[in-house]
Structure 1
Amino acid sequence: MSRAATTRNAGPRLLLPAARGAAVALLTALVVAAGVHTSWDTARYVMIPDDRQSGRLTLESCDKDACTGSFEPDREDGTAAREAVRMAQPIGRTEGETVPVVLRPDTDDAMRTGLPGVLYSWLPLTGALLLAAVVIAGGLRLYRIGWIVAGSGLTLLVATFLAW
Structure 2
Amino acid sequence: MPSAVLSPRGSSAVLRLCRFAAMGTVAALILVAGVWASWGTAQHAMLTKGRERGTVEVTRCGGAACTGSYTPLSPGSQPRARVVLEDSVAVAEGETYTVVLKPGGDDAVRSGPAGILYAWVPLGGALLLASVVVAGGLLRTRAAWVLAASGAALLTAAFVAL
Q: TM-score, normalised by structure 1?
A: 0.88
Give the residue type in structure 1 aligned to 2:19.
Answer: R
Q: 2:105 aligns with which of 104, 107, 126?
A: 107
Instruction: Give the whole-Å Cα distance in 1 for the aligned partners of 2:98 and 2:82.
Output: 15
Residue 104 of structure 2 is aligned to residue 80 of structure 1: no
Instruction: Give the whole-Å Cα distance in 2 for the aligned partners of 1:100 and 1:92.
Output: 13
**Could you list the per-position Cα deviations for residues 34-84 of structure 1 after superposition, in whole angstroms to 9, with x for gaps in the alignment?**
11122111111110111111111111112363221001111231x221111
Give the residue type in structure 2 aligned to 1:56.
Answer: T
Instruction: Give the whole-Å Cα distance in 1 for the aligned partners of 2:23 and 2:64.
Output: 36
Instruction: Give the whole-Å Cα distance in 2 for the aligned partners of 1:92 and 1:116.
Output: 9
Q: 1:145 aligns with which of 129, 132, 143?
A: 143
Instruction: Give the whole-Å Cα distance in 2 for the aligned partners of 1:146 and 1:85.
Output: 41
Partner of 2:22: 23
Instruction: Give the whole-Å Cα distance in 2 for the aligned partners of 1:115 and 1:155.
Output: 14
Residue 127 of structure 2 is aligned to residue 129 of structure 1: yes
Structure 1, unaligned runs of 5 or more: none
Give the residue type in structure 1 aligned to 2:52.
Answer: Q
Instruction: Give the whole-Å Cα distance in 1 for the aligned partners of 2:11 and 2:74.
Output: 67
**Could you list the per-position Cα deviations for residues 88-109 of structure 1 after superposition, in whole angstroms to 9, with x for gaps in the alignment?**
1211544332110001111211
Instruction: Give the whole-Å Cα distance in 2 for the aligned partners of 1:146 and 1:94.
Output: 36
Partner of 2:62: 63
Partner of 1:40: 39
Structure 2, unaligned runs of 5 or more: none
Q: TM-score, normalised by structure 2?
A: 0.89
Q: Residues 85-100 of structure 1: matches in 2 within 5 Å?
A: 85-100=83-98
1:110 partner SS = strand
The size of the alignment, in residue pairs, is: 159
Instruction: Give the whole-Å Cα distance in 1 for the aligned partners of 2:102 and 2:10.
Output: 55
Runs of 4+ in 1 over 6 A off after TM superposition: none
Q: Kindly tell me: are residues 160 and 64 of structure 1, through their superposed partners in 2, closer, same or farther at Cα, counting changes over 3 Å?
A: farther
Instruction: Give identity over the alignment, percent.
Output: 42
* Maintained 8 Å contact 1:64/1:92: no
Q: How large is the RMSD of aligned CA atoms in angstroms?
A: 1.9
Q: Residues 144-163 of structure 1: matches in 2 within 5 Å?
A: 144-163=142-161
Q: Kindly tell me: are residues 92 and 118 of structure 1, through their superposed partners in 2, closer, same or farther at Cα, counting changes over 3 Å?
A: closer
Instruction: Give the whole-Å Cα distance in 2 for the aligned partners of 1:63 and 1:161.
Output: 22
